[in-house]
Structure 1
Amino acid sequence: MAADIVPLKGAIANLNWFDAQRKHYETPDQIARRFRLPDDAGMRAFCQGAASVLDRHTVQFVRRLPLTADGAWSYLAEPERVEQWLPGARWGLEKGAGCSLPLAGTEGKVADLEPRQRLKLEADTGAWTQFELHDASGSARARRDIPNYQGPITEIQLIDCLPPDAEVPQPLPDATAEHVAQPGGVGTHWVSQVADWHHAATLLQKLAFANSNAYWPPELAVGLDHTALIAAYAKLLAAYHGG
């Protein structure tokens, strides 16, 4: 059964994949801990926030923020706020301006810019990263994600694409096997890069919740545990590409 389930195609697929790995005697908390996730609630939170693999070279993260479009855009437009969730990143707010994205190890330019809607960064290597904002105030799912909150909600979609010839950069100081693993081969994301983007997206969400005094469910903290993210993605990416 496990071999027939491909993870990283959505939260339900992720949960089904974890369930398929469970030994008959294991509780939900035990299967979670076997994958270095804190407990069943943390595993479910991870599955909800995990990357979706759009194609061989592209991953997407979605987070819902208790902010207006202007408030969400400030985390892309104001350098001091960008620094809070993407340390060292910089870009100008006009097409063609230079950009630097240490998380991805790239330098490049702003390829597309629509204030309060979209920002696309294109690296010299051909890789690109795009942030899109969408109004989710009328979404029942968004309301479930942010309980006891009646204000505006903006969804941010973070898409990261590698060029077909992308290989794990060298050297990677203090790298473990999981850090350098590229389970799908050349042109696919390495484990640590997906974990880093998951961490950044979750940190942005936490900052937005704090900005709006919205309740931050404690199980979401799994998205800030880099060790747990590395361990989970090392298995999930291998299963995805092996499927």
Structure 2
Amino acid sequence: MNQKTIIGAGAGLALALGMTAANAAPAWQAGDIIVRGGATWVVPDEKTHGKSGTLAPALQGTHVSVGNDVKPSVTLAYMLTDHIDVELLGAWPFKHDVSLSGGALGGTRLGSIKHLPPTLSVDYHFNTGTPFSPYVGVGMNYTIFFDEHVDDQAKAAGVTSLDLSNSFGPAAQVGLDYLIGDHWLVNANVRYLQIDTNAHVRTAGGGRTKVNLDINPWVYTAAVGYRF
């Protein structure tokens, strides 16, 4: 089962549960504040597009690969109504290895990058009349790249710097809270973020190359939360 099937099935389950318990007492109330803390796993679904500049001929048939990473994360949500919240996702900076695959330069390790992906979403919570509280949401993501590091292998090939431009794009998620009493809960959710960036590579002698890169990660989170 692929990732799109999983998120689609989750959305379908959330809708079905919400429809079958439409008259039950709501799990949440307007004014509730929900804080969740846990671990988030970022799995890029990267695609390399246009290449221009000094290294463009050598990069024909070559793709940029971005590794996975897991870091602590936190979300803060405020219930606007009994069903709708506004939620902010934050996390410890993620670090990803960056390398080349395919073509003449395949197997070359470029280095590593760090990023912060704050994401603001509006979520709809379905009413099941049980401790299970599924939800779906959409929002926007702003990804900040920093601390790009060039690997020794890339330096030996003449690469002097690597810079990625910040990105602004849509986000979507499916999640599930399980309430334990009046305040505590456990949570699991899956997000899809659209992260489109330009990688700027500088080489010895003043060479410059730009690569259009879609990172577009699947983001998986498991957390424990508290309702105030």
- Asked if Structure 1 and Structure 2 have the same fold, meaning a TM-score greater than 0.5 normalized by the shorter chain, the answer is no
TM-score by length of 2: 0.26
Q: Tell which structure's C-alpha radius of gyration is larger.
A: 2
> TM-score scaled to structure 1, two decimals?
0.25
Q: Name the structure with the higher strand share.
A: 2
